[in-house]
Structure 1
């Protein structure tokens, strides 16, 4: 049972006092429900997680959530969100199946250590407008699996979709005889003050979304897991097969209109395969813009130096029309391509775009491709991941040893693979830690273990004191005493 309560400062008047009182009431209900739930046993925890999963996966509800998300946020497309809601939740259920998350979870006779899984308490889940159903569902399922209550702080645009999801979850929890207060959502209007108050009062924060929200999580005074900025690049090595690589990059670039932080923003192609790869990307629906068209696209995508919401997660044809490129829009491109040579603020196409626009770099060789990606990540996206299309699997190891990335995705559609897929071994998640490179405190995919405390019981064992020479003998021989 979590006993660390942080009472709200409700003595203040006006709007801030009202916000504190509302959040305090939500947290109090969550704590009461969580205290009864935490020790209900593994079957109850599993049932709660399954209930939340079925709430989003049932096809009619899934379709309603997908369509509401697009209608409310204007981001992405409903068909892809429908697929994402289903596959990400199905994969998470696979990962959770058979996992023990309460009571004794491990015994080691050799060390005398017994590990006991414990809930963290009340989880605050910050979620983005790009995935207003899939991301909350993922966090809710993980939290319930581990005996916690969860309160979602959605983006303002995503509130209606998230509230609809929570309503569906309440229906399923009620059918299972479980308390609806285990899952709650901040009431509208969603404000920074309400979110900050929730972060202050809860026991753990899991934050996905804008870097402003992640910074808020890390500075809230509450233990937090937050994720870094995306800006994925993929390298196409000379040994790659363009006919295999191009459709995968195109799928990743266009899925849900590139709402995912794992969608490629750049592709770095070795010189030896440059033109064949461009041809293959064109055959996969890409249109390469000339210098004048690129300039017009830049003007519409960045206004006053800031990425414009007018282009975020919109179709390539829509973006082309906004840029006055009606002839290109008429061709109904799947994605737009621009060639680039630099990176940094003076080269905005080198950054994250959250749109079906792919920046193309030409590298002399594999080492030069790595140098270009390093330069891109020095500007934005360090720690997240890198894609690689190659006929030499060892090149992926080289990237993992040299680039500031937590994941190397080899010969796969990046945005489908980096958060887990059924043809790789990464855990299913919509929140990817970026390590210290991305100013995060973890470098894996956010999963159920992040929602647990572990208590360790230490029993006495036979004393084993090593000899000094067993530990430092080799050092003494090489260096001396």
Structure 2
């Protein structure tokens, strides 16, 4: 489906005309503001990015946004959202600090190349309900740093939080003398038609959230970056420090009630340490369900093959109550665990759960563990990431060479590490590309460089034509001419 065609070329109706007019007016204001802004110089761009960042980082505003997000979406918990809003934005500022994003940004005298950073224009930012403040803030800061304007299309549940964020950004813009039209929001209620119209009119789409939104972005006719489905697995290899691995997995699984696509959904444990690792996870608050309890949990979590909103991103005790497992809820679990051996739609625990529920797989050795992860990702989550807990660090490179993943996270709390952290070198982002494995056109963390065009000036240099034997000599020696 070509959304550009469906929004611009289908027969008119009063409702469709209203959507086109309303979205068109937003984009026109954004374009006017952006054309002046992109040539205002690096200081202006840096000021705008800082204003948007401080809008969410300031403690009072941060807490208001976190409380509103949990109240209106019913997803996650306030304290973790406060931490996420602050740390993810602080890390982004660290990544952006001192980076040139306008004018000449590089000169290579030997190659005669000069690189000039150019804005992309108006960015359509599609954002999810799971992080209704942190994700739009990340996209807005990146876009502004590169001289762009942004119009956000938030999820309906996350609309109020996103609207308050934009209000806070506008307040900071007023102090800095910046045009409010640089950051705008689709009016409520956000419809699919309005979001599609925005995507079609923008210069770039950055989409995070449901796969339906990502597919719409790719079909919009506008250049787009979208992310793949999450279903992260972590391997615990026999040389791992088990208590450390369990603590990090528990932190990742429970943070913000597992709203992150980077929270482990499965842990694959080598047989030699399976019982010991299970004990370590139990000491971290995990409660293992028996077969009957697992069946009741499955019935509660999936209705007609779809995750139930009554369990998504809820505390483990509440999920247990929803499943009628009052005896489990009374134990106040930090997270629930089920043993699994299968993959696919007939084994829903092998997929993404968006809840503090963990599937445990037993593997005979490291090779078997890697194969289990491959099976999991053949069902869901290809391209995203894999976790590894081990003392043999070279095993991580083996996974990176063999599994369909864009990131291998070694001995870290996965959901805190995958999107960048202060103890690893990945860029801070809440949008992780999954490469062609996940039907994406990029495999990195979506950082500021994806919000830029680069113009290259090529000057003449001394001609250097290589000899054929220099380039093909090895081939000739091994194969012949």
TM-score by structure 2 length?
A: 0.98
- The reply on whether 1:260 has 2:260 as its aligned counterpart is yes
Q: Cα distance, 1:305 vs. partner?
A: 1.6
Spell out, residue by residue over 1:23-78, the C-alpha distance to the aligned partner (whole angstroms, 9 max, x if none).
00000000010011000000000000000000000000000000000011000001
Query: Hey, what does 2:165 align to over in structure 1?
Result: 165
For residue 338 of structure 2, give the secondary structure of its aligned residue in structure 1. Answer: strand
Q: Cα distance, 1:304 vs. partner?
A: 1.3
Query: Hey, what does 1:60 align to over in structure 2?
Result: 60
Over the aligned positions, Cα root-mean-square deviation in angstroms equals 1.0
Query: Hey, what does 1:341 align to over in structure 2?
Result: 341
How far apart are the structure 1 equivalents of 2:363 and 2:10?
59
How far apart are the structure 2 equivalents of 1:316 and 1:474?
61
Q: Cα distance, 1:8 vs. partner?
A: 5.7
How far apart are the structure 2 equivalents of 1:28 and 1:375?
48
Query: Hey, what does 2:453 align to over in structure 1?
Result: 453
Q: Cα distance, 1:308 vs. partner?
A: 1.0
Spell out, residue by residue over 1:220-257, the C-alpha distance to the aligned partner (whole angstroms, 9 max, x if none).
00000000000000000000111110010000000000
How far apart are the structure 1 equivalents of 2:204 and 2:327?
51
Q: Cα distance, 1:10 vs. partner?
A: 10
How far apart are the structure 2 equivalents of 1:277 and 1:138?
36
Query: Hey, what does 1:395 align to over in structure 2?
Result: 395
Query: Hey, what does 1:4 align to over in structure 2?
Result: none
Q: 4+ residue runs of structure 1 moved beyond 6 angstroms? A: none
Checking the alignment, whether the CA contact within 8 Å between 1:116 and 1:456 is kept in structure 2 is yes
How far apart are the structure 1 equivalents of 2:464 and 2:329?
73
Query: Hey, what does 1:39 align to over in structure 2?
Result: 39
How far apart are the structure 1 equivalents of 2:328 and 2:447?
42
Checking the alignment, whether the CA contact within 8 Å between 1:101 and 1:145 is kept in structure 2 is yes
How far apart are the structure 2 equivalents of 1:473 and 1:396?
35
For residue 405 of structure 2, give the secondary structure of its aligned residue in structure 1. Answer: coil
How far apart are the structure 1 equivalents of 2:73 and 2:149?
27
Spell out, residue by residue over 1:171-197, the C-alpha distance to the aligned partner (whole angstroms, 9 max, x if none).
001100000000001000111000000
Q: Cα distance, 1:13 vs. partner?
A: 2.8
Query: Hey, what does 1:146 align to over in structure 2?
Result: 146
How far apart are the structure 2 equivalents of 1:307 and 1:259?
13
Checking the alignment, whether the CA contact within 8 Å between 1:204 and 1:223 is kept in structure 2 is yes
Spell out, residue by residue over 1:331-376, the C-alpha distance to the aligned partner (whole angstroms, 9 max, x if none).
1100000000011111000000000000000000000000000000
Q: Cα distance, 1:443 vs. partner?
A: 0.3
Query: Hey, what does 2:177 align to over in structure 1?
Result: 177
- The reply on whether 1:224 has 2:232 as its aligned counterpart is no
- Shifted more, 165-174 versus 9-18: the winner is 9-18
Relative to structure 1, the CA distance from residue 239 to residue 174 in structure 2 (aligned partners, 3 Å threshold; closer, same or farther) is same
Q: Cα distance, 1:11 vs. partner?
A: 8.4
Superposed counterparts of 1:4-153, under 5 Å = 12-153=12-153
Checking the alignment, whether the CA contact within 8 Å between 1:236 and 1:388 is kept in structure 2 is yes
How far apart are the structure 2 equivalents of 1:338 and 1:146?
46
How far apart are the structure 2 equivalents of 1:476 and 1:330?
74
For residue 385 of structure 1, give the secondary structure of its aligned residue in structure 2. Answer: strand
How far apart are the structure 1 equivalents of 2:305 and 2:476?
59
- The reply on whether 1:479 has 2:479 as its aligned counterpart is yes
For residue 143 of structure 1, give the secondary structure of its aligned residue in structure 2. Answer: helix
- The reply on whether 1:195 has 2:201 as its aligned counterpart is no
Query: Hey, what does 2:4 align to over in structure 1?
Result: none
For residue 423 of structure 1, give the secondary structure of its aligned residue in structure 2. Answer: coil
Query: Hey, what does 2:417 align to over in structure 1?
Result: 417
Relative to structure 1, the CA distance from residue 218 to residue 10 in structure 2 (aligned partners, 3 Å threshold; closer, same or farther) is closer
> Which runs of 5 or more residues in structure 1 are unaligned?
1-6
Superposed counterparts of 1:422-441, under 5 Å = 422-441=422-441
How far apart are the structure 2 equivalents of 1:134 and 1:366?
36
Query: Hey, what does 1:304 align to over in structure 2?
Result: 304
Relative to structure 1, the CA distance from residue 29 to residue 11 in structure 2 (aligned partners, 3 Å threshold; closer, same or farther) is farther
Checking the alignment, whether the CA contact within 8 Å between 1:11 and 1:17 is kept in structure 2 is no
- The reply on whether 1:358 has 2:362 as its aligned counterpart is no
Superposed counterparts of 1:314-325, under 5 Å = 314-325=314-325
Superposed counterparts of 1:261-300, under 5 Å = 261-300=261-300
How far apart are the structure 1 equivalents of 2:446 and 2:374?
24
For residue 352 of structure 1, give the secondary structure of its aligned residue in structure 2. Answer: coil
Q: Cα distance, 1:12 vs. partner?
A: 2.3
For residue 312 of structure 1, give the secondary structure of its aligned residue in structure 2. Answer: coil
Q: Cα distance, 1:106 vs. partner?
A: 0.4
Spell out, residue by residue over 1:261-297, the C-alpha distance to the aligned partner (whole angstroms, 9 max, x if none).
0000000000011001000000000000000000000
How far apart are the structure 1 equivalents of 2:436 and 2:43?
37
How far apart are the structure 1 equivalents of 2:53 and 2:477?
59
Query: Hey, what does 2:463 align to over in structure 1?
Result: 463
For residue 406 of structure 1, give the secondary structure of its aligned residue in structure 2. Answer: strand
